Amino acid sequence: MSFTENQLYFDDIEVGQEWVSPGRTVTETDVVNFAGLSGDFNPIHMDYEFAKTTPFRRPIAHGLLILSMGSGLGMQAPSMRTIAFLQVREWNLKEPVYTGDTIHMRSKVLEKNPRGRGRRGEVVWQRAIINQEGKIVQEGVIVTLTEGRRKPSEAAVIPDRQSAAAQPNG
């Protein structure tokens, strides 16, 4: 899948801009599939009887599952021409997420750092995953690499030394 005309470039966003993604409801299927993918079958996620003995009283979704879902939601708001996910500077898991909860991602641009002579740029984001009650369940700072509008100039081709030496001085 390639980028579309609707996706924003590095140059299209400004420090301080904020977006909120559409919602996504966490399902039991999500939790079971993530357990199979990650190998994390901790009973706090999988065993209803065990979970009754915990402070949560029922199974909770994997924290990394919610971070992953948040990453996907963040790709929608704003829809950017993201080349790479570079860094998690900090991330805090603040509240449990249960099956049936609906989460949204709030994204705010903290910094922009041009790279590659404008062909791309690093964006530092403040991100918060918010549940249906408006509570922040996870939050932190991440860095992505985003495509810029400037393209390499074809006119900036440097001739090789042998070709330049063979030219007459006239």
DSSP SS3 for 50? helix
Q: Which two tokens stand for residue 104?
A: 């949204």
Given this model, what pLDDT does residue 151 score?
Answer: 66
> Comparing C-alpha atoms, which of 73, 71, 74, 80 is closest to residue 25?
73
Given this model, what pLDDT does residue 158 score?
Answer: 47
- Domains of the chain with CATH codes: 10-150 (3.10.129.10)
Q: Which amino acid is at 79?
A: S
Q: String of b and e for 54-66 (b: at least 16 CB within 10 Å)?
A: eeeeebbbbbebb
Given this model, what pLDDT does residue 167 score?
Answer: 53
> Comparing C-alpha atoms, which of 15, 19, 17, 18 is closest to residue 111?
15
**pTM for this entry:** 0.84
DSSP SS3 for 72? helix
One digit per residue, pLDDT tens: the chain, 170 residues?
A: 688 888 999 999 999 999 999 999 999 999 999 999 999 999 999 999 999 999 999 999 999 999 999 999 999 999 999 999 999 999 999 999 999 999 999 999 999 999 988 899 999 999 999 999 999 999 999 999 999 987 655 444 445 555 455 555 54
State how far the Cα of 97 lies from the Cα of 131, in Å rounded to an integer.
8
